């Protein structure tokens, strides 16, 4: 099921999400995108591009668990969820559309919406309560600040940052498990070519490019093949001053 089909399937929920968003941006600046058409396309549709990939990874995890527990009495309810972190989530995108659909589809996923700006996370908490999303929590911090406690903790990291790819790779990669994935939402271009040295240093491989919106946008799919060196991530000021 593609992103438009998912939005149509849960149209009432997405209308509620849009109403909450449009009300919130009247008094708090969480995004410059305000028209309904743009919100649906640039926030809702864009966010859900990664949904098929995430759902597929959950199936892989479930298949592995079934093989490992063929003789176990463990039931579905006790399985740990696939843990996903959205780094620099802003107003909650891609987290909110993904968490909404995952909840309604009853997928065993849990999302952490990370941002250093608390006012943006307040909107996510409002949506979480209003739409009763139990698969979501917020965290007010910078990614490099939580790297020690949450090092190699998440199965998948997401990021829609406009920062250059070497910068976001260093920020995000330490949080991902060995064998996990980093999905970077970017404008179509040549960033992946300029990030070759960062990819090698951080132990990640570019596995796929998902191109969409008439070749305007792409998702760069990285897989973590080596544990991240303990020197990473550096402080943000150093990362920005001297990218890998």
How far, in whole angstroms, is CA 159 from its chain's centroid?
6
- What pLDDT is attached to residue 79? 80
Give, as one character, the DSSP assignment of residue 39: I
Tokens 């040295």, residue located: 197
Q: Show the DSSP H helices in 10-50 as ranges.
A: 11-24, 36-38, 46-47
How far, in whole angstroms, is CA 137 from its chain's centroid?
13
- What pLDDT is attached to residue 65? 58
Contacts of 32 (CB under 8 A, 6+ apart): none
Give the residue from 227, 114, 210 showing the smallest Cα distance to 168.
Answer: 114
- What pLDDT is attached to residue 42? 95
Give, as one character, the DSSP assignment of residue 153: -
pLDDT in tens, the chain (244 residues): 889 999 999 999 999 999 999 999 999 999 999 999 999 999 999 999 999 999 999 888 766 655 555 555 555 445 889 999 999 999 999 999 999 999 999 999 999 999 999 888 999 999 999 999 999 999 999 999 999 899 999 999 999 988 899 999 999 999 999 999 999 999 998 788 889 999 999 999 999 999 999 999 999 999 999 999 999 999 999 999 999 9
**Domains of the chain from N-terminus onward:** 3-68+81-241 (3.40.50.150)
């Amino acid at each position: 099921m593609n992103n438009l089909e998912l939005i149509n399937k849960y149209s009432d929920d997405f209308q509620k999400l849009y109403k909450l968003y449009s009300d919130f941006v009247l008094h708090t600046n969480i995004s410059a995108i305000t028209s309904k058409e743009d919100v649906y396309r640039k926030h809702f549709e864009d966010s859900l591009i990664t949904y098929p990939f995430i759902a597929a990874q959950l199936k892989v995890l479930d298949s592995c668990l079934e093989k490992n527990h063929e003789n176990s009495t463990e039931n579905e309810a006790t399985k740990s969820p696939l843990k996903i972190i959205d780094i620099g989530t802003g107003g909650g995108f891609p987290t909110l559309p993904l968490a909404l659909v995952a909840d309604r589809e009853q997928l065993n996923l849990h999302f952490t919406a990370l941002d250093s700006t608390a006012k943006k996370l307040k909107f996510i908490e409002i949506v979480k309560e209003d739409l009763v999303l139990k698969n979501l929590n917020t965290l007010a911090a910078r990614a490099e600040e939580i790297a020690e406690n949450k090092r190699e903790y998440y199965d998948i990291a997401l990021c829609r940052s406009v920062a250059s790819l070497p910068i976001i790779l260093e920020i995000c990669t330490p949080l991902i498990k060995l064998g996990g994935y980093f999905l970077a939402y970017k404008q179509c271009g040549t960033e992946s070519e300029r990030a070759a040295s960062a990819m090698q240093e951080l132990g990640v491989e570019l596995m796929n490019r998902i191109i969409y919106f008439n070749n305007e946008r792409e998702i760069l799919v990285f897989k973590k093949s080596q544990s991240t060196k303990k020197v990473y991530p550096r402080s943000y000021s150093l990362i920005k001053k001297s990218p890998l």
